Amino acid sequence: MANITKKLILQTFSDMLEEMPFDRITVSALVKRSGISHNTFYYHYQDIYALLEAWMEEVIGEPLRMVEQGNGETALVSFLRSCRNKKRTVYHVLNSISREQLERFVFSHTDTIILPFIQANDPNHDLDEQKLQCLADFCQYALLGFFLKYFWSNMAEEPESQAAWVYDALVSFMRSEMKRMGSG
């Protein structure tokens, strides 16, 4: 029953995000629209920001699983296509949260993917953790910049071409830097 209620809350929240900016959505409006009580909402989520975090995790869940399975470029295409199909929702979120919130979310999710990806591509496994983490940090900032530019350009470019370009650029950069730092 708890999973059904969580799904109802997430779906209602998603519907509301399509209609209005995140900063205009209140817990009161959400519980009224979903037909649940405030207590039920707070049983599942600490506040509206915790709900936003859960919603964002659900949105990127499938692309993250694709990356973990070694399908990085396909995951990027899937994510960009999904964003393009839900432009209003994307902009309702992006225009309502701070850059710090966005960075914290992106970095918390990409760190668990990029660092292992870099470690797996360290041919001689001889780079120390500090160098690997520095390289991962750089790649995370590059990805954040790429996403922001894509969103600011109204997602005009085709997801396939953008994903291929950024994926190839990151992999080339990563390999070049590993070679320069002494691995391979």
pLDDT number for residue 22: 95
pLDDT number for residue 165: 92
- Residue 108 makes CB contacts below 8 A (sequence gap 6+) with none
pLDDT number for residue 146: 93
Q: What is the mean pLDDT of each run of 10 residues along the chain (184 residues)?
A: 90 97 97 97 96 91 80 88 94 91 83 79 75 88 91 94 92 86 63
pLDDT number for residue 183: 52
pLDDT number for residue 55: 94
Distances (CA, A) of 67 to 78, 125, 169: 11, 21, 16
**Ramachandran bin of 21, using left for φ above 0, alpha for ψ from -120 to 50, beta for the remaining angles:** beta
pLDDT number for residue 65: 81
pLDDT number for residue 153: 95
Domain boundaries, the chain: 48-180
pLDDT number for residue 149: 93
